[in-house]
Structure 1
Amino acid sequence: MICPKCQSQVDVEWEKCQVCGFQLHSVSPQLWWKVVATNPITGKKLEPRPFSRREYAEIHAERLRRLGYIDVKYFPAPWGRDPNQQVVVRVRARPPEVIPTLNPIDAAQLAQLIMDEGYLRYQRSPTVVHDIYGREYWGYYPRLRIAKTDREDIEHFAEILNTTAHYIEEIASWRIELAGEKLTAILRQIRPYIRGEKAPQVDIILEHGKFYIPNTTIPKPPTVLSLVEPEKLMEYLKMKTPITPHMKGVSPTPKDIQRMRTLRMQGLTLDEIAELTGFSKPTIIKYLREKEEIT
């Protein structure tokens, strides 16, 4: 910071210039006060915390000193943020999964690799999934694991499939994994080249994809459902329930917002829009209000 009177370099925390004595900060009671301190262990400075009154800044500074922080200071800051001002936190929408398009040669080679080294299964979600009405379900998602000692072969398909190859020391092999809708889209492309025992496994995944069952079973349903012996899997497929998972923590994209408005113009209710899009009613109302008044 430069002193406006003598043009000397001064610290932003100084109330007065140490060279000429010029008052650097106004003492107006309308200003905010910032408190700064340094962690004695890491040496990292805390983010300046603003307060609306000097008394509050003094109390917080004393609290930090008792906790062992060093270089604790407080100073007027006309550029400080209003502590009572609402902070808007924007959640970045999850980018869409990129589904590669395979040429016939890569599709045939990948199909052969899956038939030789692939392991297809259904895996349960680690926690329950809620629908837009708050009801609990367990989600089952198709997964594919390919493990092979040939690093070049695995890395070649990892690049094609937009995924990452990992080395597993326990089995001295390189591995790639695919799951969910991306796996289903890939299997649909290579299905004409799949034969043998993997063919019925792929057909089950293409028919059912990911599915949900109500959280009514005690204990928890199995973590993995095998496709090699699908009898147990078929028992759970009988319990399959179509739901719209709640899109918690994900902001709607411009395409999602446009779809909400289109559905509203078609006369659908908020409940129907929520069921089709997966977003809660408050979220839908928030974005619809930019164009219309919800009654």
Structure 2
Amino acid sequence: MYFEGRVSGTGVGIVLNDSAADYDVQIDGATVATLVTPGNTTHWINGLSNSTHTVRLVKRNDTPGDTSTFGGFVAAPGGAVLSKPAPRNRQIEFVGDSLTVGYGNLSTSRTCTSDQLKRNTNSDVSYGALTARQLNADYQINGYSGLGMVRNYNGGRTDVTYRTFYDRALLNVSGDVWQNPGTWRPQVVVVNLGTNDFSTAINPGEPWTPESLAAAYRSAYGDFIQKLRTRYGADTTIVAVGAGQYAGHVQQVVKARNDVGDSRVRYWFLDDSGLDFLGCDWHYSAHDDRLIADRLTSFIAGLPTGW
């Protein structure tokens, strides 16, 4: 999640109410402050040159159990908040789990405490954010750590999956539905779900066999692609990411869509060669996110998006 604005004058205030998440403040392209669980505050950046500045606020980590409130930018005395920047013509939506969030990607150790994980997660340098910026696209990262398409990490939270939350704006409010203002029409949606479904062994008491889990995953994935297709229309390219144990299943789902005439569903194999997995709990490091972003950017640039 990020917000961009323009101000004139020597300072800008960022109005926030959030006691759970961390934020970066960027002025004219440079990070000038990191706000750690800022609470209910107006954080001021002063001492700027008396001119026009771009300001960007970016939420660094996922805090799905809490509500984050951004109250806007305010100008220092003598300055003004200017008209909002023009939206970019390109839009990409990223759907995924902790790997898409950027879970622990700034960590210097794979072993992290809860606080270290929070401080060292930065979605702004996740592969999705980097890919979008390389393509000069506005983007959404719809990621939820630990959740899968039909099965969550280690079989946890059996009452919900990623799909439970996809429609929501406030993830912690049951029944909430995000209302698209009509301006969000991504030309590309990248889906990377499956790691949590398959990365841990099925525990005694879970309602799965390896075969039934795979079948349920493929069925739900197909339904989710249809949901995206209905939401965004025939011209949106849906990139289904395959990696590890779930790559073959994703390939099957994509082939089924292609076989019925939907050529704008594309399979992309996430090549993990060269990745060090040095983020918290063996997640992507910032180095890995850059490598993946470079590979994904090349793939998307070759798609028939009209870009």
**TM-score, with length taken from structure 1:** 0.24
Please say which structure displays the higher CA radius of gyration: 1
Greater strand share, 1 or 2? Answer: 2
Which protein, 1 or 2, shows the higher relative CO under an 8 Å CA cutoff with sep ≥ 6? Answer: 2
